[in-house]
Amino acid sequence: MISNLNSFRGQKNGTTHIEKLTTKQYLVVASLLFGLFFGAGNLIFPLHLGQLAGSHWVGAAVGFLVTGVALPLLSVLAVAVTRAEGVFDIGRPLGVGFALVFMVLIHFTIGPLFGTPRTATVSYTVGVAPFVPKADQTLALFLFSLVFFALAFAFAYRENDILTNVGKVLNPVFLVLLFVVFAVAFVNPFANPFQTQATTAYVHGSFVNGFLQGYNTMDALAGLAFGVTVVTAVRQLGQKRDSDVAKVVAKSGVLAMSAVALIYVLLIVVGAMTLGRFKVSADGGVAFTQLVNAYAGRLGQAVLAVLITITCLTTAVGLVAAFAQDFHKHFPQLSYHAWLFLTTLASFLVANFGLEQIIAWSTPMLMFLYPLAMVLILLSVASPLFKRDSAVYFFVVLLTVVPALGDMVVSFPSVVSASAFGKLVAGWRASLPLAAYGLSWLVPALVGLALGLMVHWYREHSLAAAGEEN
């Protein structure tokens, strides 16, 4: 997620006006989109999904691609259609207060609470942990994350492009290594993916569970927060009209996201095949480590450790810098460097809870934020149809927020979900349609859409009638 972000932020307009983009220019935009939405951390979730889904991996893959591929692309289109300068503008139709809260929640989620710490824990779990004795894991994670975030802070502080440039070289190498792993896995499979055992939840609900697992990529949130980077790049290529920008983003996006989708599907299939040798792992980081060790041994693991650490570090630099830049813009009382220190420190502290705990506690927040993000993305893309009427936004978001809060509470670890309050919320939530599938917000959101469009139609009709009278 969000690779090499700094290279594209804050650029100035001043390029040549062009009527139509060349194939090379489309590829440039496509590579930017690919870099935004695919990082080393994105390896672990589809791989783990494959283990959970087993022989039911096809339905799970389709669901995962909806929230992990289609929705992130729509988030960038939403930015293009609304001419947003960031996630703040996406929430602006509901007022400055809502927009500010929504921006803070998204930035904290993809930043110091979950996204940024995950860059360190993924690289540690996949690359370093296999070389460390079990008794020393806690200390090793502390030291690794300390060095990791010290380097991230240093590179972001000086706004140095050295690491970004290194990432441009190593990221392709990482992808080549990944496809070598795919080739070996398919030539010498552990099992037939259509004959492996699925976990109970995926036997009859593979699509929905795959859909929910796609939340973990956080890419739809990233697209809202940083999609302006892609849109700005397109405008710099001479595309000025909103419709032209949206078309370029869509065409380039199909190319980029097809590549992302291919990697995701291959990872899901490989994850299902690992069940022939391994049990379902605690998380995808453990599964990936087992896979590489099985096929490439300790040497392969060592090469992987270097590559995945540098790619994750590149992503971390982009995330902490982006957080500091955006928060300094909206909260200028603190300097860029002060915000940078705070987000880096917070990320370091959270990282030491470990990858498994970060995933466990991020899930509830994503169960709350993703429904909000989804409805705002779809409303933004469709906003020209109802003239961005705030009434439509209000009813949809209002009737989405309440059940989404319920989904969040029941998704918390047992310390919250099994409490008296958690059980009370669970009982109320169970009465909502599709609650059993984690989609209790969907029907209320559709009701909100109907109400909002009725209000919009009434307003338009009243204005038209008043115009005729005058």
3-state secondary structure 369-431: HHHHHHHHHHHHHHHHHHCCCHHHHHHHHHHHHHHHHHHHHHHCCHHHHCCHHHHHHHHHHCC
Residue 21: band (very low, low, confident or very high) from pLDDT cuts 50, 70, 90: confident
- The larger pLDDT score, comparing residue 215 to residue 237, is at 215
- What tens digit of pLDDT does each residue of 139-170 get? 999 999 999 999 999 888 876 566 566 667 77
Question: How far lies 160's CA from each of 165, 318, 411, in Å?
Answer: 10, 11, 40
Specify burial of residue 242 (Cβ count, 10 A radius: 0-12, 13-18, 19+): middle
Residues in the chain, how many? 470
Specify the 3-state DSSP secondary structure of 332.
coil
Burial (0-12, 13-18, 19+ Cβ within 10 Å), 424: exposed
Question: How far apart are the C-alpha atoms of 236 and 414, rounded to whole Å?
Answer: 50
Q: Where are the domains of the chain?
A: 5-352, 359-470
The pTM of this model reads 0.87
CB atoms within 10 A of CB 167: 25
> Hey, what amino acid is at 375?
V
| Residue 309 pLDDT greater than 80, yes or no | yes
Per-residue pLDDT tens digits for 221-267: 988 888 888 888 888 888 878 788 888 888 898 898 999 999 999 99
In this structure, are residues 4 and 168 in contact, taking their beta carbons and an 8 Å threshold?
yes
Q: What is the DSSP letter of 41?
A: G
Mean pLDDT computed over every residue of the chain: 88
Q: Is the pLDDT of residue 8 over 70?
A: no
Q: In whole angstroms, what is the distance from residue 291 CA to residue 288 CA? A: 5
- Could you give the CA distance from residue 433 to residue 439 in angstroms, rounded to a whole number? 8
**What Å distances lie between residue 442 and 242, 375, 411, CA to CA?**
30, 9, 17
Residue 285 has a pLDDT of: 87
Could you give the CA distance from residue 316 to residue 115 in angstroms, rounded to a whole number?
A: 9
Pick 5-352's CATH classification: 1.20.1740.10, 2.40.480.10, 3.30.70.3270, 3.30.479.10.
Answer: 1.20.1740.10
Per-residue pLDDT tens over the stretch 266-280: 999 999 999 999 999
